[in-house]
Chains A and B, each alone.
Chain A
Amino acid sequence: MSIENDKVGEEKLAVTEKLTNGGEIGWDGQSLQSMLAETERLTEETGHYRGLEDLELKEENRFEYERLYSRLRGALVSARETALHVSASPIVREIGELCFQIYTPEGDSIAVSTGIIVHVHTGSLAIKWMIEEDYEHDRGIEPGDVFCNNDNDLGNVHTTDVHTIVPIFHDGELVAWADGVTHEADIGGASQGHTSIVHTSRFEDGIYATCEKIGEGDELYQDWKTRGERSTRTPMYWDLDEKCRLAGCHMIREAVHDIIDDVGAETFKQFTREAVEEGRRTMESRVQERLFPGTYRNSSFVGLPLAEEGWKPEQQKDSLHHLPVEMDINADGTMSLDMEGTSSQGAHSFNAAEGSMTGGLWVSLTQCLLHDGKVNDGSHYALETNFPEGSLTNPDDPQLSFHAPWGTIMPAFQSVWQNVSQAFFSRGFREEVVTGYSETTDTVQGGGTLMESMAQMIPDEVGDYFPVSPFDLSCQGLGASAVRDGLDHGYAMWNPEADMGDVEEWEMVQWGTQYLSRQMKTDSAGHGKYRGGSGWEGVMTVMGTEDCTLYKASIPDVAFSTAGMAGGYPGSTKYAVRAHDTDLADRAREGEPYPTGDTPPGTFEEQIDGDIERTHRGNYFPKEFDNHDVMHFQMGGGPGWGDPLERPLEKVVADVEEEIYSPETVEKVYGVVGEFDEKNRVFEMDRAATEDAREKIRERRAEESVPFEEFFEAERERVQDGDVSDPVAEMYVDAFDISEEFEAEFDEFWDIDRSGF
């Protein structure tokens, strides 16, 4: 038994004795419930976390205070960097899709590691839920206990993020909680993959752990381990990921015990309170330092075209989701975020629990506003949110599917980023502007079984099933700022350490799939004076398999999520193309060309013979793929900033030479004319023709645009007649049903009594 386990044993004895004598595990004889109630009351009454008007430790002993924060954060980062080596899943080990957090006894986040920091607040919700449900007196919370949660309705982002939560005790009191979360390759469910668009309800999502006690005495229960082993398609990854999370939580617990041994429990407690209050103050002061008070509005949209692809009758329809975002930046530095008018929840996997949305909020604000501050729940107290109950952003039915809430979170926060970016620009911090990003979609997912001859070539412990869940989606185009272009193919909004991993690493675990290419997706970047970062495209094939099914989800595809800013355009949409029953093997044998992309669209099928499936929508549900079938996928470009005609000519020339844009596109959008020597990648611009082309673009703006009144009358007539597509009309009707306020604003704007939808 290690020294740390001796310590836990001592704590267990102390708590048992205390509980036997009718004591409580909170501080100073309080229960956790009373601590939570008192914290909420004091914070509400005073506007300061737990009523802390003075940060005594910070003010009187600054060095000690900062040292404590560094030690704690260092312990979290160290836990993450060490524990990920326990995992075998490339999602965790290679990509770093894990995160560790530490919380106060009431469940307020004190500090968070690097990684998927979207979870800074989700563990908080799960801990508070356990406290409210009186786990301390009913289920029991004792030293050495292990809890697990992946239920979005109780505190999570999406179902394949699985949390391990461990209480930390000192001297008979619960002093903190450690929480580790990993992104699983598979949790069972109706379809393979880590972010499925196939599911319509909870009953298809796979394993749900609902703040469940899964172990005690630092050991996992045998029945829990058996459940994981028998309920996922990748039991080895599940098992090692769980050990990874538990090991990290125990490292954090040991670090907290060391800190308390060094500085004493009272100093540690005081520090944790002050760190949360400092987080709150940092948020308010940062708002006043960087932003501009006022009201900001933007709306995002998500097309979900499932009429042809859906499996179940209730999902076989084309839908457009409405995600409006209004934000107030107040005089006192507080902010509010209101999504009144959001589409209602539904029979699909894009439902995002309130915890998912607050997670999205923190992962956004930590990147744009709080990147050097103490990232914790303090900032939560400086911000009010309204995610309407029963909507996509706060469902009231836990029986819905929550497998892919990113399909709601990512587009919604594009509007948040644009609102905050408007504030940055007006305040003079134009370098902090980010117009948005391409949503992290379009990765191929699925899985299969190897042919026996192939299975014999791989290590026994892997088995013959292979999951397909690469993280190509981690590298999208970032939006432009107001001083430079967006980052090309290198951004994921939910994990700032965007990393798609090496092809070779994925091929080591996705045994039956082979990459044929990764290359720039020309014409995917949003146009502007500063363009969005470019997306990219790839082609995969299937080899040595039987029973291989693959599918793909795309945002945006049939509709844009948002535009650019200040005259910039959104990045292009995505689509789908694949080939079955192909001649790839013959081509390989003969040394003939095969598809390495689809640029310009339509050229994929020039390099392969077979049954080609090409759709404007970017998604397809799981399809059987035979050996040598070929599928294309595409990561998107970010939105642009500013009028494209103001983009410096030399930058447009470079765009063509780097294959960001085609010569045809730059002529039409930027008015830049020239000859492209593709072989040598040299674009010779014709200055005279360019001047003419740019002048013509300006003239066309004058000729083809109309005064607002003319636009208003034409559009109003369509609204009265209901003359829009069915998905758009249904979007409005649904938004009116869920929000009288939105309907009233809509009717007022168009000056109508009732729309024709």
Chain B
Amino acid sequence: MATETDRQQVEKLIDGELGWEELRNDVLPDPKDDQRFEVTRRLLQEDVEWDDPILLPLNDHLYVVGSEQGRIVKCDCGHEFCGVEKNWKEHARVRVREDEDDHREIYPEYQTPHPDWTFQLREWFCPGCFAQLDVDAVPAGYPVLQNFEPDIDTFYEEWLGEKAPDKR
């Protein structure tokens, strides 16, 4: 099992509070801590205010969790998006920046896409807390990709040798 020191280090890692020396000397080098996934998962679980078991984190706010409706994508604010097999972006809110004026809120003149090329930034927000969950940079008309379809049971059962938390 992970020691209390490991746990504190992972906690600081998650919070972005690990200094460069500790990061370089203890965290980045190989071999890696083989308890990392479970320690991380437990710490993240302690940080959220709901009880659905976290199966894996997708980014700073989104998690795949076990729930009464099955495995779903859920925001740390509590907003539930959709089943894990679906694209959570299709259940989010989106702002599209395509005109030069829209891009210029983010970048100076000339440091944006060319105004005649219909190139977009799509900003994806949680409908519950309006955290910015992702940004896509794509030409107009580009489909919204489902960036990640995790194979959860293979991970837990074949790689970790245990049932996923929602099946235990």
Q: Residues on A close to B: CB < 8 A?
A: 288-290, 292-299, 301, 303, 305, 318, 320, 329, 331, 371-372, 419, 422, 425-432, 482-484, 523-524, 527, 529-530, 557-570, 572-575, 600-602, 614, 616-617, 642-646, 648, 662, 665, 668-669, 698, 701-702, 704-708, 711-712, 715, 718-719, 723-725, 727-728, 731-732, 745-746, 749-750, 755, 757
- Name 17 extra pairs, CB < 8 A, besides A301-B137, A483-B13: A296-B148, A303-B113, A303-B119, A419-B147, A422-B148, A427-B37, A482-B60, A483-B18, A529-B16, A567-B134, A646-B131, A665-B106, A705-B94, A706-B93, A712-B90, A723-B140, A725-B117
A459 to chain B, nearest CB (A): 41
Q: Is B41 an interface position by the 8 A CB rule?
A: yes
The contact sample of 19 A-B pairs, CB cut-off 8 A, is A294-B155, A296-B147, A297-B146, A303-B117, A372-B29, A372-B30, A428-B10, A483-B18, A524-B111, A566-B133, A567-B60, A568-B135, A702-B130, A711-B122, A725-B117, A728-B139, A746-B143, A750-B141, A755-B141
Within 8 A of A (CB), among B85-137: 89-96, 105-119, 121-125, 127, 130-137
A646 closest partner in B (C-beta): B60
Cα(A563)–Cα(B97), bound, Å? 13
Q: B131–A567 contact, CB under 8 A?
A: yes
B123 contacts across to A, CB distance below 8 A: 567, 701, 705
Instruction: Tell whether, in the assembled complex, residue B106 and residue A711 are in contact, meaning their CB atoms are under 8 Å apart.
Output: no
Asked if A662 and B108 sit within 8 Å, CB to CB, the answer is yes
Q: Which residues of chain B are within 8 angstroms of A298 by Cβ–Cβ distance? A: 145, 147
How long is the Cα–Cα vector from A646 to B122 in the complex, in angstroms? 19
- Which residues B1-59 have CB closer than 8 A to chain A? 10, 13-14, 16, 18, 20, 23, 27-30, 32, 34, 36-37, 39-41, 56-59
Cross-chain contact B141 with A644 (CB below 8 angstroms): no
Quick one: closest B residue to A288, CB to CB? B159
- A552 CB to nearest chain B CB (Å): 14
- B139 / chain A contacts, CB cutoff of 8 Å: 301, 320, 559, 724-725, 728, 731
Q: B40 to A428, Cβ gap below 8 A?
A: yes
B70 within 8 A of A: no
Does B68 touch A at the CB level, under 8 Å?
no
Task: Give the number of residue pairs across the A-B interface with Cβ within 8 Å.
Answer: 254
| A427 / chain B contacts, CB cutoff of 8 Å | 36-37
Q: A565-B59, A566-B60 are in contact. Are A299 and B106 (CB under 8 A)?
A: no
Minimal beta-carbon separation of A76 from chain B (angstroms): 21
Taking a contact as CB atoms under 8 Å apart, the answer to whether A563 and B136 are in contact is yes
B141 touches A715 (CB 8 A): yes
Complex Cα–Cα for A600 and B110 (A): 10
Which residues of chain B come closer than 8 Å to A297, judged between CB atoms?
145-148
| Contacting pair B94 A711 (CB below 8 A) | yes
6 shortest A-B CB distances, which residue pairs?
Answer: A572-B111, A428-B40, A566-B59, A558-B114, A560-B137, A567-B132
A329 to B36, CA, bound (A): 19
Contacts of A372 in B (CB 8 A): 29-30
Q: Which A residues are CB-close (under 8 A) to B140?
A: 715, 718, 723-725, 728
Which residues of B are found within 8 Å of A757, using beta-carbon distances?
A: 141
Assess the B130–A698 pair: CB atoms within 8 A. Answer: yes
Contact A701 B134 (CB under 8 A): no
Residue in A296, A320, A706 whose beta carbon sits within 8 Å of that of B94 in the complex: A706
Q: Is the CB of A563 within 8 A of B30?
A: no
What residues of A have a CB within 8 angstroms of the CB of B108 in the complex? 523, 572, 600-601, 662, 665
Q: Tell me if B137 and A570 are in contact (CB < 8 A).
A: yes
Interchain CB contact under 8 A, A560 and B109: no
Q: Is A705 a contact partner of B111 (Cβ separation < 8 A)?
A: no
Closest to B145 in A: A297
Q: Note all chain A residues with C-beta closer than 8 A to B39.
A: 428
Are the CB atoms of A320 and B92 closer together than 8 Å? no
Q: How far is the CA of A523 from the CA of B16 in the complex (A)?
A: 23
B59 touches A601 (CB 8 A): no
Instruction: Indicate if the CB atoms of A428 and B37 lie closer than 8 Å.
Output: yes
Q: How far is the CB of A650 from chain B (nearest CB, A)?
A: 12
Q: Which of B14, B28, B57, B132 has the most CB of A within 10 A?
A: B132
Closest to A524 in B: B111
Residues of B within 8 A of A702 (CB): 93, 125, 130
Q: In angstroms, how far is the closest chain B Cβ from the Cβ of A530? A: 7
The reply on B78 being an interface residue by CB < 8 A is no
CB proximity of A439 to chain B, nearest CB, Å: 14
A559's partner among B16, B29, B113, B132 (CB-CB below 8 A) is: B113
Give the docked Cα–Cα distance between A23 and B20 (Å).
60
Which chain A residue has the least Cβ–Cβ distance from B111?
A: A572
* B91 interface neighbour in A320, A426, A646, A708, Cβ under 8 Å: A708
* A569-B105 Cα distance, complex, nearest whole Å: 12
- Bound CA–CA A425/B40 (angstroms): 10
CA–CA, A575 to B108, complex, Å? 11
Asked if B107 contacts A422 (CB within 8 A), the reply is no
Task: For A750, give its contact among B13, B115, B143 (CB under 8 Å).
Answer: B143
B71 to chain A, nearest CB (A): 13
Query: Which of A431, A484, A705 counts the most B-chain CB atoms under 10 A from its CB?
Result: A705
Among A289, A426, A529, max chain B CB count under 10 A is at A426
Given contacts A565-B59, A565-B134, contact A573 B112 (CB under 8 A): yes
CB distance from B16 to the nearest CB of A (A): 6
Residue of chain A at shortest CB distance from B144: A749
Taken together as a complex, chains A and B put the C-alpha atoms of A662 and B111 apart, in Å, by 13
**Given A573-B112, A711-B96, A719 and B141 contact (CB-CB distance below 8 Å):** yes
CB nearest neighbor in A for B29: A372
Residue from A292, A601, A724 in contact with B141 in the complex, judged by beta carbons closer than 8 Å: A724
- Asked if A643 and B154 make an inter-chain contact with CB atoms under 8 angstroms apart, the answer reads no
Shortest C-beta distance, A664 to chain B (Å), equals 8
- Listed residue (B30, B39, B142) with the most chain A CB atoms within 10 angstroms of its CB: B142
Complexed CA–CA distance, A247 and B32 (Å)? 39
Q: Name the B residues within 8 Å of A482 (CB-CB).
A: 60
Residues of B within 8 A of A724 (CB): 118, 139-141
**Cα-based distance from A749 to B106 in the complex (angstroms):** 29
CB distance from A490 to the nearest CB of B (A): 14
A289-B60 CB under 8 A given contacts A431-B13, A573-B113, A725-B140? no
- Please name all residues of chain A whose beta carbon is closer than 8 Å to the beta carbon of B145 when the two chains form the complex: 297-299
Residues of A within 8 A of B134 (CB): 563, 565-567
Docked complex Cα distance between A506 and B112 (Å) = 31
How many Å lie between the Cα of A567 and that of B136 in the bound state?
Answer: 9
Asked whether B16 lies within 8 Å of A644 as measured between CB atoms, the reply is no
Residues on B with C-beta less than 8 A from A719 are 141
Q: What separation, in Å, do the CA atoms of A574 and B117 have in the docked complex?
A: 15
By a CB distance below 8 angstroms, the chain A residues around B90 are 708, 712
Partner of B118, one of A430, A569, A642, A725: A725
Tell whether A331 pairs with B137 under 8 Å between CB atoms, given A701-B125, A750-B143.
no
Closest to B56 in A: A426
| Beta-carbon nearest neighbor of B155 in chain A | A293
Q: Inside 8 A of B133's CB, which chain A residues have their CB? A: 566-567, 643
Find the A residue at minimum CB distance from B10.
Answer: A428
Q: How far is the CB of B108 from chain A (nearest CB, A)?
A: 5
Can you name the residue of chain B whose Cβ is closest to the Cβ of A530? B16
CB nearest neighbor in A for B160: A288
- With a cutoff of 8 Å between Cβ atoms, the chain B residues found around residue A646 in the complex are 60, 131
Q: Which residue of B lies closest to A577 (CB)?
A: B110
| Residue of A whose beta carbon sits closest to that of B149 | A295
> Which residues from B are CB-within-8-Å of A706?
93-95
Instruction: List the A side residues contacting B138 at CB < 8 Å.
Output: 299, 301
